[in-house]
Structure 1
Amino acid sequence: MEFDLSWIVLGLPIAFGLGWLASRLDMRQLREDSRRAPKAYFKGLNYLLNEQQDQAIDAFIEAVQNDPDTTELHFALGNLFRRRAEYNRAVRVHEHLLSRGDLSRTDRERAQHALALDFLKAGLLDRAEDALRRLEGTAFEAQARLALLAIYERSRDWPQASDIARRMQAAQQGDFSTRQAHYLCEQALGHAAHGELDAALALLEQAIATAPQAARARIELARLHQRMGHAQAALQALGGLADAAPAALPLAASLLVEVASQAGQAQQAHTLLVRHYEQMPALDLLEAIVALETAGAQGAAAARSWYVRHLEREPSLVAATRWLAGEELAEPDVQPQVQRALEHASKPLTRYRCAACGFEARQHFWQCPGCQTWDSYPARRVEEL
């Protein structure tokens, strides 16, 4: 049987025509899909720019329904849900992304990070911790460790926080030695509260070795020695504070007066306080000097002259109020009212203020209760800043 070449001649144009027709149909469908998806996308973007988040979410949902494979739209939608505190919906979006088998490694890591943020914002710290742990070895590792550190500090899990800080320092993500010292101090305070003084002592000595320039460990060590009845050791710890972190000495001025009196070395403490006061006048140093001189041979009148010296160096309503409390006015009947008014006016000036967020407190905090920043409270009071 002979093969008829005429069929090839006739079949080629027909095959070409059918292929062209199929391509036109595919192109038309593609154009329709591409027009529909960008339209919804840009409509959502426009709503977002106009801060119309409800309409933006509806537009993005429409775009995702038209093209469920678009990962960027999923990320945009999940972020919008998180910003609106609709954490359950944000979690569903990001978990849907993670369930897809065709997701690239980069997008999978990004979705895992977004899911961790959803849990973190929702306050689900256990689930956030698990999600953040899965980011080890990814491009989001540094951010995940910072978030884990915040979780452990918030839950006061100091050993875990110390472990994360150690890893971050080893990865050269910053110097965390001072923060490590704070974690050790927190653990030491926990042991001391349960009467485990030797364990607390070991942790505080470790904290000093970790961050020799940090003030807190030396102050806590002095308090612990005082509690244990070791006044001389407490005095030695405060002497180390004066050398390593002289700016923090006002925080331990009253403690220095106590342990020096107990150790019978009030004169040495007085000399130390006066020397540091001359270098940097501070109200707490001033009060400590006055307390030592009042208890000594000089008497209250001579001690109170320090308030006048302070006023000669710098104006201070607090120092003026303290000095006036021991003076007799020409009209003694009005002195209580005047004194009460001055004390009321000066009380806010004796507070401490966070340098990071401005939160004010009567006592000094090593970690701000407002913004959770470490060492953001200066050792000097509001009037002296």
Structure 2
Amino acid sequence: MESDFSWLLWGLPIAFVLGWVASRLDLRQLRIENRQAPKAYFRGLNFLLNEQQDQAIDAFIEAVRNDPDTSELHFALGNLFRRRGEYERAVRVHEHLLSRGDLSRPERHRAQHALALDFLKAGLLDRAEDALRKLEGTSFEPQALLALLSIYERTRDWPRAAEIARKLDTRGEGNFSTRLAHYLCEQAAQEPNEEAERLVREALRTAPAAARPALELAVLQRRAGDDRAAFETLAELAERLPAAAGLVARPLAESALACGEQVRATRILCERQQATPSLDVLEGLVALEPDPESARNLYARHLEREPSLVAATRWISGERLEHEDLHPLLQRALDQAVKPLSRYRCAACGFEANKHFWQCPGCQAWDSYPARRVEEL
């Protein structure tokens, strides 16, 4: 019995026609969806370029609805919410991304990093810390470590900050030795003398070129009653780091007066003053000069080299004027005028203070205060 293959002659063309119709319907639907999603996406970009963030958010929300599987749209939307300060909405977007099972490993790490930034910007430091810790071993680890360092600085958790600084230094993410020395000095300020000295000496070994550890060590030595050791520490620092002479001058003069090393201290400060005139070094020399008239002459000699209202005010304070009854009024006016000139100024943000800070109270930058007064900048 012969097989009847005539059905094939009808079946194949019908199957081809049905397949063609189905493909055309799929292509049509795909074109409609593709037109809708990119259109909303590019409309959002246009709003962003025109700084219309409200309209951009509406456009991106529409794009996400049309294409909910596109992670890039979610990232764009989450970043917009964070920039606008809508941290709760940004957190929801990034947590939704992390809950998706189809997210690739790199995108999951990216979403985790974005979520950590949301918490950080919102001031939820404990949740930010937990989120950042989960990025260990990922491509976002360096950024996570820097963010953790910022958190520990803000909370003044110096032991943990020191731990992170060591990690970053070991991984070659920069030189954090000076920052680590600051953390050790900050820890030392909270400890009794013996432990404080150990931490300060460790800071000195960690960053030999930094001025702060030696200055802190001299303070501890003077507190323990060893003025000679403090003098030697400061004398070595003044000769090793000329740029720090302004910070060294006053404590050097005080320790020299306490241990009888005025001649040597005067020589050191004279060398620094000759190389680079400084108001602080000048004040150190004045403190070492036993004769008031000779001390006033130091201000006069400084004025021969540098025009300085501060030095002129100090000189006039001991001068007898023709109208002596007006001297107190004149002196008070001059003292008031030189106050702003006697401050220190942060080189990063311009914050001014009457005392020298290692970390700026305004912008939190480290070592941003030059060891010179505003008048000398």
- Please confirm whether the aligned pair reaches a TM-score higher than 0.5, indicating the same fold: yes
The code of the aligned residue for 1:314 comes to E
Matched residue, 2:20: 20
The code of the aligned residue for 2:304 comes to E
Matched residue, 2:345: 353
Matched residue, 1:49: 49
Structure 2 SS opposite 1:256: helix
Matched, 1:219 2:212: no
Residue from 301, 308, 312 that aligns with 1:316: 308
Matched residue, 2:94: 94
Unmatched runs of 5 consecutive residues or more in structure 1: none
Matches within 5 A, 1:318-357: 318-357=310-349
The TM-score with structure 1 as length reference comes to: 0.96
Matches within 5 A, 1:78-227: 78-191=78-191, 196-227=192-223
Matched, 1:378 2:370: yes
What displacement does 1:120 show? 0.5
Structure 1 SS opposite 2:201: helix
What displacement does 1:300 show? 0.4
What displacement does 1:252 show? 2.5
- The 8 Å contact of residues 78 and 91 in structure 2, kept in 1 or not, is answered as yes
Matched residue, 1:368: 360
The code of the aligned residue for 2:24 comes to R
Mean alpha-carbon deviation: is it higher for 140-149 or for 359-368?
140-149
What is the alpha-carbon distance in structure 1 between the residues aligned to residue 80 and residue 54 of structure 2? 9
Structure 2 SS opposite 1:380: coil
What is the alpha-carbon distance in structure 1 between the residues aligned to residue 286 and residue 53 of structure 2? 62
The code of the aligned residue for 2:247 comes to L
Q: Deviations over 1:123-142 (max 9, x none)?
A: 01111111111112222111
Matched residue, 1:58: 58
Mean alpha-carbon deviation: is it higher for 118-127 or for 328-337?
328-337
Q: Deviations over 1:199-233 (max 9, x none)?
A: 01111111111111110010011011101101111
Matched, 1:234 2:230: yes
The code of the aligned residue for 1:280 comes to T
Q: Deviations over 1:168-214 (max 9, x none)?
A: 111111111111111110111110xxxx2110111111111111111
The code of the aligned residue for 1:149 comes to L
What is the alpha-carbon distance in structure 1 between the residues aligned to residue 239 and residue 134 of structure 2? 44
Runs of 4+ in 1 over 4 A off after TM superposition: none
Structure 2 SS opposite 1:190: coil
- The 8 Å contact of residues 212 and 244 in structure 1, kept in 2 or not, is answered as no
Matches within 5 A, 1:208-287: 208-287=204-283
Aligned length: 377
How large is the Cα RMSD of the aligned pairs? 1.0
What is the alpha-carbon distance in structure 1 between the residues aligned to residue 239 and residue 126 of structure 2? 43
- The 8 Å contact of residues 232 and 263 in structure 1, kept in 2 or not, is answered as yes
Structure 1 SS opposite 2:136: coil
- The 8 Å contact of residues 355 and 376 in structure 1, kept in 2 or not, is answered as yes
Q: Deviations over 1:238-263 (max 9, x none)?
A: 02211332211211322112211111
Matched residue, 1:302: 294
The TM-score with structure 2 as length reference comes to: 0.98
What displacement does 1:44 show? 1.2
- The 8 Å contact of residues 177 and 206 in structure 2, kept in 1 or not, is answered as yes
The code of the aligned residue for 1:268 comes to R
- The 8 Å contact of residues 350 and 381 in structure 1, kept in 2 or not, is answered as yes
- The 8 Å contact of residues 235 and 252 in structure 2, kept in 1 or not, is answered as no
What displacement does 1:265 show? 1.5
Unmatched runs of 5 consecutive residues or more in structure 2: none
